[in-house]
Amino acid sequence: MEHIKTFHSITYETSNGPITIEGPLSSDELKKYNFHDKLVAFRPAKKQFEALLEIASFEEARIIVARTEEMIVGYVTYLYPDPLERWSTFKMKELIVLGAIEIIPDYRGQRVASNLLKLSMLDDYMENYIVISTEYYWHWDLEGTKLSIWDYRKVMEKMMASGGLTPAPTDDPEIISHPANTLMVRVGKNVPETTVEVFDNLRFLSRYNQRIKSEG
């Protein structure tokens, strides 16, 4: 599968001044910018930037950033599922994961996250993918936002809807381990029905494996 990427960019005003959302960016393009030291949701900022530079080198990967002049203050990543995760079971070339989205606290509430997702989907080639995001409440910044689990989920779902992702059922043990967890999915317009059927088997992998076992 050829992973065609088309660059898009928007700039708009926030209460903190103008911000630019752009991408997908290559590793070399990312290196032109600085990485804000408050982007620490997943690991220390320096290590996270190194991880993004590596991800950007993957053929299928996409990284969209939010920046103020030369400073990256937010980003979203898309890439294939980790080989150790259930979502890589069928090695679907059309399935990519919204792996991370992060905004520094100063720019929360400024439509940065929703605009990162909107810009991601401006690329027509995204219609060839099934995009998923696995949302676990233990990854949410409940302390920083002062939101309850359920209020945070509402905010998360509204944000994901900006990119066309909606909740979808699954029998994934981690997701069903808590009612607040959810699988978010966007099926591109160009994804064949046969691929959607494979993805449906993946969403309900336990049921699929039981069926295969009984038929065998």
Q: Is 91 helix (H, G, I), strand (E, B) or coil?
A: coil
Q: Which amino acid makes up residue 36? A: H
Residue 198 is encoded by which pair of tokens?
A: 């494979």
60-114 confidence digits (pLDDT tens): 999 999 999 999 999 999 999 999 999 999 999 999 999 999 999 999 899 999 9
The top-level CATH class assigned to 8-215 is alpha beta
116-141 confidence digits (pLDDT tens): 999 999 999 999 999 999 999 998 98
Task: Provide the 10 A C-beta neighbour count for residue 157.
Answer: 15
**Please, are residues 16 and 107 in contact by the beta-carbon 8 Å criterion?**
yes
Q: Provide the pLDDT confidence category of residue 178 given band limits of 50, 70 and 90.
A: very high
Closest CA to 33 of 71, 74, 85: 71
Instruction: Give mean pLDDT, residues 140-158.
Output: 93
Q: Provide the pLDDT confidence category of residue 144 given band limits of 50, 70 and 90.
A: confident
Max CA distance (Å), the chain: 62
Q: Which three-class secondary structure string do you get for 14-80?
A: ECCEEEEEEECCCHHHHCCCEECCCCCCCCCHHHHHHHHHHHCCCCCCEEEEEEECCEEEEEEEEEC
